[in-house]
């Protein structure tokens, strides 16, 4: 099997809603085993990009390749390679944490015996094994976010896509989520992380694409973005301001 160092290739992708250009011929590559950040304000095009990558949306133009496969020619193969954590929490409040994992894992057609073992292991991974028989309605928002991530891991994806996974999360649960993402990445998982929090992008991401008004303004490591702006000691907020003319506040 041919090995592709570029895990994801996005080439000149555009998407329009009515008269609104949500994405304007964006292009970027994500390397195998890295954490790639999409940093931008609400309405920048982050969620549209994510929803095109996970095949929920079809772009008006452009091409996308996942591990060498054309996402539009082989959507089923590509979807199996990805775990997706949406902005909105997708859990059933009247079901327990364990029951939610079994339900969502069943949608991935994970064999039952394997699924039960995976659910228990992943509950331990997200630090909630002790709450496995508690109903989701008793969980805090941050704990729900962690279960949401757990549901995306049951089919052992190679790529994890997280769309603003810490929105409304308290500091303790936010740190749990950071630690989990870093652990998964250390084990070889490629991660796509959308955020409008500067400190999250700085802590987690190997490379960052700054997106605003549907356009990629710049892409690279923090050091590369600093060099691009001629500011070797600049923080990410200053770089964002220089590239977009905006301040991006939490």
Summarised one tens digit per residue, pLDDT across range 72-115 is 999 999 999 999 999 889 899 999 999 999 999 998 888 899 99
pLDDT at 143: 95
pLDDT at 165: 94
pLDDT at 249: 59
Whether the pLDDT of residue 3 is over 50: the answer is no
pLDDT at 52: 96
pLDDT at 219: 95
Whether the pLDDT of residue 180 is over 80: the answer is yes
pLDDT at 246: 78
* Structural domain boundaries in the chain: 1-81+159-170+192-250
Whether the pLDDT of residue 193 is over 90: the answer is yes
Percent of the residues in the chain that have a pLDDT greater than 90, as a whole number:
80
Mean pLDDT for 23-51 is: 95
pLDDT at 228: 85
Mean pLDDT for 227-243 is: 86
> For 133, what's the count of Cα atoms within 13 Å in the CB-facing half-sphere?
0
What's the whole-model pTM score? 0.92
Q: DSSP secondary structure string, 57-116?
A: S--SEEEEEETTEETTTSHHHHHHTEEEE-SS----TTSBHHHHHHHHHHHTT--HHHHH
Whether the pLDDT of residue 2 is over 60: the answer is no
Helix H or strand E segment including 53: helix 46-53
Q: What angle do the packed helices 141-151 and 112-125 form, to 10 degrees? A: 140
Nearest 5°: the CA angle 90, 93, 95 is: 105
Q: What share of the chain is helix, strand, coil (3-state, %, to 5)?
A: 40, 25, 35
> For 14, what's the count of Cα atoms within 13 Å in the CB-facing half-sphere?
10
147 close to 97: Cβ distance less than 8 angstroms = yes
Whether the pLDDT of residue 1 is over 60: the answer is no
238 close to 248: Cβ distance less than 8 angstroms = no
pLDDT at 4: 53
φ and ψ of 88, to 5 deg: -80, 135
Does 1-81+159-170+192-250 carry CATH code 3.40.50.1970? no
How many whole angstroms from its chain centre is CA 27? 17
Whether the pLDDT of residue 250 is over 90: the answer is no
pLDDT at 97: 97
Q: Which residue has the tokens 């509950």?
A: 123
As a whole number of angstroms, the distance between CA 229 and CA 212 comes to: 17
Mean pLDDT for 52-70 is: 95
Mean pLDDT for 12-40 is: 96
Whether the pLDDT of residue 17 is over 70: the answer is yes
């Amino acid at each position: 099997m041919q090995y592709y160092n570029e895990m994801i290739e996005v080439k000149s992708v555009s998407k329009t809603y009515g008269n609104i250009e949500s994405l304007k011929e964006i292009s970027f590559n994500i390397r195998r085993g890295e954490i790639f950040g999409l940093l931008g304000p609400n309405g920048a095009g982050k969620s549209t990009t994510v929803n095109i990558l996970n095949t929920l949306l079809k772009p008006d133009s452009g091409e996308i390749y996942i591990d060498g496969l054309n996402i539009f020619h082989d959507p089923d193969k590509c979807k199996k390679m990805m775990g997706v954590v949406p902005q909105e929490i997708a859990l059933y409040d009247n079901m327990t944490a364990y029951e939610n994992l079994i339900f969502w894992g069943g949608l991935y057609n994970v064999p039952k015996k394997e699924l039960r073992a995976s659910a228990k292991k992943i509950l331990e991974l997200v630090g909630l094994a002790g709450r496995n028989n508690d109903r989701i309605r008793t969980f805090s928002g941050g704990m729900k976010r962690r279960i949401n991530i757990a549901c995306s891991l049951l089919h052992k994806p190679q790529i994890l896509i997280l769309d603003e996974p810490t929105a409304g999360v308290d500091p303790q649960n936010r740190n749990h989520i950071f630690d989990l993402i870093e652990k998964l990445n250390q084990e070889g998982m490629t991660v796509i992380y959308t955020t409008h929090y500067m400190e999250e992008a700085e802590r987690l991401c190997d490379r960052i694409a700054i997106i605003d008004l549907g356009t990629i303004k710049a892409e690279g490591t923090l050091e590369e973005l600093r060099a691009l702006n001629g500011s070797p000691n600049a923080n990410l907020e200053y770089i964002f301001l220089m590239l977009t003319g905006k301040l991006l506040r939490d």
